[in-house]
A and B are shown apart, each in its own frame.
Chain A
Amino acid sequence: MTDELQRKNVRLVRTLLLVAVVMFGFGFALVPLYDVLCKVTGLNGKVDTTAVKETGYQIDSNRELTVEFVTALNESAPMEFRAETPNLKVHPGQFYTVNFYAQNKTDKPMVAQAIPSISPGLAAEYFKKTECFCFTEQKFKPREGRIMPVRFVVDPKISPEYKTITLAYTFFDNTEKAEKQ
């Protein structure tokens, strides 16, 4: 192999390796990109988990939407978890409180986190909560069960095409992770 060819090969291999490394980084760059994209467009039904202030909205009593409540446990977490009402008819602009019940079914303390999701995803930005057990991790004593309220309002600006909104919570048992920290 001539020196000339050797040099050409080395240069090309360097460039191509660089491309590979950049693409490896690109895979990781997709993580923040995805979050930003979802936040900007509201595509994936991720819900803002910070409380909004209880402001006065114009109540639109001519419109009525159904809000459904769905509860689930991740990887069969040892808990009981349900909504006290399966659904609620609401007027946009009016505040409502619904109660959820969760219980630790183990004899040990438990740290659990509820993750909300709203469907259809694009309705998420009009669904505002002033109070929710999903804002922070919940600590349970052994066997403790308690009622946890969620206070919410549907923004009257929501497009009329939405008639039903589903609010789903999944409880994750984070005890092990919490113990490690």
Chain B
Amino acid sequence: MSAVIAPHDHEHDDHHDDHGPMKGWIRWIITTNHKDIGTLYLLFALAMFFVGGAMAMVIRAELFEPGLQFVNPQFFNSMTTMHALVMVFGAVMPAFVGLANWQIPMMIGAPDMALPRMNNMSFWMLVAGVLLLASTLFMEGGAPAAGWTLYPPLVLQTGAALPFAIFSVHLLGISSIMGAINIIATIFNMRAPAMTLMKMPLFVWTWLITAFLLIAIMPVFAGAVTMLLTDRFFDTSFFDAAGGGDPVLYQHIFWFFGHPEVYVMILPTFGVASTIIPVFARKPLFGYSSMVYATASIAFLSFIVWAHHMFLVGMPMAGELYFMYATMLIAIPTGVKVFNWTATMWKGAMTFETPMLFSIAFVVLFTMGGFTGLMMAVAPADFQYHDTYFIVAHFHYTLVPASVFILMAAGYFWLPKWTGHMYNEKIGKLHFWLSAISVNILFFPQHFLGLAGMPRRIPDYAVQFADWNMVSSIGGFIFGLSQLLFLYIVIDTIRGGTGEKVTDEVWEDAHKHSLEWTLPSPAPYHTFTTPPETVPSEHF
């Protein structure tokens, strides 16, 4: 894209602040700078994306053919469990916290996060939690293998790993809660005076709502796993039928957390999409306030639909019907969003740089995931879909070509601002096309497998499922390998990229959309030490 504003002279931007980054590696341990911490979060998430991805490759290799080929069933089940936990708590959530750290202060005209020291602590607690979780792989009895939902009584049969996994959930929970508190405090207390709530970019709005979700649900999950711990070691009977407890109770508590949790991963995704699409459509976002209200309604509804994960536990008719209709309601605000993105693109002067390509693919493929969600919301139909590959296809459509694609889009979109270098557009596009095609080869056949009755979380299967599993595995390997391109691009961009001089606004007229594009590229270590006087307005 063309240069519009001449690049600033960086030396002069720094001078009003007394110190730049610290020298040496210790900077990365004790830093309280939001940009440093954002970078730490993002790099950690990227690393975990590859760790979790490697586990997925083990799963797809084992499922390439019927029969047991590479791993034993116990280890296979550990892989499905750990893959999910690492991706959810180690990759997707931290990546969004990383984006929040980098972007929220710059987007609202604040000099830093509100609680910089807590910010540092929540990052290192995350690292400790994930390392603890990873260490269970080497324990006697293996890593947890009862699924990421940790259902009792099965999960109580985990070997030495159980208390470590539970403690790791505690750490991850505390880390998320601290991150969420920090984000709320930043948005409430640090906005530039001109930045009224209804002028905030949607990424900031969606994160604000997500942060409230996190504070409400992470403690509930921590409570549930604490009960598992006492059931196993202190003879309580929360979930033990022999002592008057009920394992179904765990499912209720878990999904009270678990359903909002999936929205923790998707709401910031919506926010980034709503930030990127207008820039490349060269139009303001269509329906800004309806986007805000839709996000808030989705967040509210997410608390009252949890038992759609439990249609088969033997709820009475009234319960099935209630959770069925309540779940279907979510499709309304979600639909509002999809239509708004489409309307934003409508008659826009669109260009298709890599971030936009990923965003458009997100709109299309997320909608697919939403549709299968709606199918499963139909309680009688879900009797067939539940715990089959159909649901695996559903949530991977809502997570991979949605949350993960948007994280990629965010990377391409903001890397030039963060590093001051342009990424290689050719390789970016190649990465996009390989990912977009292979993700469908990987997950689309899983719909067929599920409808034909293939259960999830099994290392072996009946021969009639062989063909589509092979297709799915091939898609999986292509997808996995393609992500190495992203790794290459990130490293390459940090080290200079194309060498092209990046303008302050990077993308044509981006400064009309959001404040960070009014800053120099790369963004100086300290920004907005005095708040900006004007902020971009919704209509321009």
Per the bound structure, the CA–CA distance linking A34 and B114 in Å amounts to 39
Q: Which one, A59-67, A92-100, A115-123, A150-158, is touching chain B?
A: A115-123
Q: B246 near A8 (CB under 8 angstroms)?
A: no
For the complex, give the distance between the alpha carbons of A34 and B224 in Å.
Answer: 14
Within 8 A of A (CB), among B225-247: 227, 235, 238, 240-243, 246
B240 / chain A contacts, CB cutoff of 8 Å:
172
Which residue of chain A has its CB nearest to the CB of B236?
A31
Q: Which residues of A contact B242 (CB under 8 A)?
A: 74, 113, 115, 172, 174
A43–B253 CA distance with the chains assembled, in angstroms: 16
Nearest neighbor of B249 in chain A, beta-carbon distance: A34
Q: For the complex, give the distance between the alpha carbons of A170 and B246 in Å.
A: 13
From residue A172, how far is it (CB to closest CB) to chain B in Å? 3
Q: Mark B103-117, 1 if CB is under 8 A from A, else 0.
A: 000000000001100
A46 to B314, CA, bound (A): 12
Q: Are B246 and A180 in contact (CB under 8 A)?
A: no
Specify which of B114, B188, B218, B314 is in contact with A119 (CB 8 Å cutoff).
Answer: B314
With contacts A12-B188, A34-B249 known, is A20 near B314, CB below 8 A? no
Give the distance in Å from the alpha carbon of A77 to the alpha carbon of B256 in the complex.
32
The yes or no answer to B223 lying at the interface (CB within 8 A) is yes
Let me know if B215 and A24 touch, CB within 8 A.
no
Tell me whether B331 is interfacial, beta carbon within 8 Å.
no
Q: Which of B223, B243, B248 contacts A44 (CB 8 A)?
A: B248
> Would you give the shortest CB distance from B530 to chain A, in whole angstroms?
13
Closest to B241 in A: A115
Contact yes or no, A30 B235, CB < 8 A: no
Q: In the docked arrangement, what's the CA distance between A180 and B224, Å? A: 25
Interface majority SS (helix, strand, loop, mixed), chain A: helix
Contact A177 B216 (CB under 8 A): no
Nearest CB on B from A23, distance (A):
4
8 A Cβ contacts from A43-93 to B: 43-46, 74-75
User: Does A12 lie within 8 Å of B253, measured CB to CB?
Assistant: no
- Asked whether A121 and B316 contact (CB < 8 A) given A16-B184, A30-B253, the answer is yes
Q: Tally B residues with Cβ within 8 Å of A.
A: 39
Question: Closest CB-CB distance, A5 to chain B, in whole Å?
Answer: 6
A121 CA to B256 CA, complexed, in Å: 22
Residue ID in chain B nearest A41 by CB atoms: B316
Kindly state whether residue A40 has any CB partner on chain B within 8 Å.
no
Are the CB atoms of B189 and A34 closer together than 8 Å?
Answer: no
Q: Are B316 and A20 in contact (CB under 8 A)?
A: no
Q: How far is the CA of A74 from the CA of B252 in the complex (A)?
A: 22
Give the residues from 308 to 330 in chain B that come closer than 8 angstroms, CB to CB, to chain A.
Answer: 314-316, 319
Could you tell me how many residues of chain A have their Cβ less than 8 Å away from some Cβ of chain B?
A: 38
CA distance A21 to B217 in the complex (A): 11
Question: Considering only CB atoms, which chain B residue lies closest to A77 in the complex?
Answer: B242
Whole-angstrom CA separation of A100 from B381 in the bound complex: 38
B177, A28: Cβ atoms under 8 Å? no
The reply on B363 being an interface residue by CB < 8 A is no
In Å, the complex CA distance between A9 and B113 comes to: 11
Interchain CA distance A31-B223 in the complex, whole Å? 11
**Chain B 200-215 against A: per-residue CB contact (8 Å), 1 yes, 0 no?**
0000000000000001
With a cutoff of 8 Å between Cβ atoms, the chain A residues found around residue B220 in the complex are: 23-24, 26-27, 30
User: A180–B243 Cα gap in the complex (Å)?
Assistant: 14
Cβ contact within 8 Å between A19 and B235: no
Could you tell me if A27 and B185 are in contact, using CB atoms closer than 8 angstroms? no
Known: A17-B181, A119-B314. A23 touches B241 (CB 8 A): no
Q: Which B residues, 142 to 167, have Cβ-Cβ distances below 8 Å to chain A?
A: 153, 157
- Residue A147, interface by CB 8 Å: no
A36 close to B (CB within 8 Å): no
Known contacts A19-B215, A23-B218, A120-B314; 9 additional CB pairs below 8 A are: A8-B188, A12-B181, A12-B188, A12-B189, A24-B219, A27-B224, A30-B256, A31-B249, A122-B316
Binding site for B on A (CB under 8 A): 5, 8-9, 12-13, 16-17, 19-21, 23-28, 30-31, 34, 38, 41, 43-46, 74-75, 113, 115, 119-122, 170, 172, 174, 177, 180
Can you show 17 pairs from A to B with CB atoms below 8 A apart?
A5-B114, A9-B115, A16-B181, A16-B185, A20-B177, A20-B215, A20-B218, A24-B219, A27-B219, A27-B220, A30-B252, A31-B238, A31-B249, A45-B314, A74-B153, A74-B242, A115-B242
4 closest A-B pairs by beta carbon, nearest first, are A27-B223, A172-B242, A24-B219, A23-B219
